[in-house]
Amino acid sequence: MYFSTTDDGIELEKIKDDLTYLHNCYVEMLREIGEEEVAGAIEEGHHSKTNSEKISKAFSLYFQFITIVEENAAIQLRRKLEDEHGLSRISGLWGKTLQNLDDQKVSETEILQELPNIKIEPVLTAHPTESKRSTVIDQLRSIYLLMVKRENQMWTENEQDQLRDEIITAMERLWNTGQVFLQKPSIQDELRNIMHYLSNVFPKVLPMLDQRLREAWESAGFNPDLLNDYRKFPKVGFGNWV
């Protein structure tokens, strides 16, 4: 068992605990489906000379689980910093940006005049070496949400066991699903991937971005009533390379 390096500000014990938890779930799942040698390789933390394809697949998935833990830890750190020091603590976000403008004596009226002129346009594509199947993305997201859910101290022992079973089930689904497209994605594959984000991801995320701007605006001491009109917000559009 090994742990990846992390930011000094993140609680290392929590990261170790989460990694150990997912590690044990993963090994248990592999043994349950009869992949004893693969489970042993994960436990030892290195490749075996035999069944290299399966073991490479196993470690590829394992690194995805490490990423889940690191992302959760980073989000927890951001929340902790914002809770202790305010929304202006994190560089690159609305809170810090609006606070800097206020410090430079830029008025809220001037900021409001410029906000609608800001346009953000994420460009969606499906690179052949990086494209994950939407089913894989869904299962990784499911494991992430279950790990967040696990942090709640209210669960009974039986409910905790149920959460663990759900994580193991999601891991088994991932094991049985190809992680990436083995061939260059077709146009239909790319369109399907883009539609997944446009239909399932962005409709949930965009209102959250608007709310973050409102919270940062009020935290900076500006009049919240001035942001009641959606036409005063930055514009978001979407491009694609399909």
In a domain, 100, yes or no: no
Q: Cα–Cα distance between 176 and 33 in angstroms, integer?
A: 11
- Nearest of 235, 174, 166 to residue 206 by alpha carbon: 235
Cα(12)–Cα(6) distance, rounded to whole angstroms?
Answer: 8
pLDDT band at 5 (very low <50, low <70, confident <90, very high): very low
Number of domains in the chain: 2
Residue 147 sits in the same domain as residue 164: yes
148 and 44, same structural domain? yes
Measured distance between the N- and C-terminal CA atoms of the chain, rounded to whole angstroms: 41
- pLDDT score for 44: 85
Please compute the mean of the pLDDT values over residues 38-43 and round it to a whole number.
90
- CA-to-CA dists, residue 184 to 56, 128, 137, 189, 193, angstroms: 20, 5, 18, 9, 13
- Domain range for 20 is 1-85+132-179
What is the sign, positive or negative, of the torsion defined by CA atoms of 109, 111, 114, 118? negative
Is residue 111 domain-shared with residue 143, that is, in the same domain? Answer: no
Residues 20 and 55 in one domain: yes
Could you report the per-residue pLDDT of 150-202, keeping only the tens digit for each? 988 888 999 999 999 999 999 999 998 865 544 566 778 778 878 888 898 89
Q: Are residues 28 and 81 in the same domain?
A: yes
Is residue 81 domain-shared with residue 199, that is, in the same domain? no
Q: Which residue has the tokens 């000379």?
A: 49
Inside any domain, residue 26: yes
The H-or-E segment that residue 44 falls in is helix 36-44
The verdict on residue 17 lying in a domain is yes
The verdict on 6 and 81 lying in the same domain is yes
Q: Looking at residues 225-238, what average pLDDT do you find? A: 91
- How far is residue 63 from each of residues 58, 59, 69, 147, measured CA to CA in Å? 9, 6, 10, 16
Residue 3 has pLDDT above 50, yes or no: no
Residue 99 lies in a domain: no
144 lies in the same domain as 165? yes
Q: Are residues 201 and 162 in the same domain?
A: no
Does this model's pTM top 0.75? My answer is no
Same domain for 147 and 223, yes or no, is no
Whether pLDDT at 129 is above 50: no
The per-residue pLDDT for 204 is 92
Q: Are residues 196 and 167 in the same domain?
A: no
Q: By mean pLDDT, which of 81-85, 105-109, 169-173, 201-205 is the weakest? A: 81-85
Euclidean distance between CA atoms 231 and 112, whole angstroms: 10
Token pair of 127, please?
A: 């690179």
Count the neighbouring beta carbons within 10 Å of the beta carbon of residue 209: 15
How is 166-221 classified by DSSP, letter by letter? HHHHHHHHHHTS-SB-SSPPPHHHHHHHHHHIIIIIHHHHHHHHHHHHHHHHHHTT
* Together in a domain, 110 and 27: no
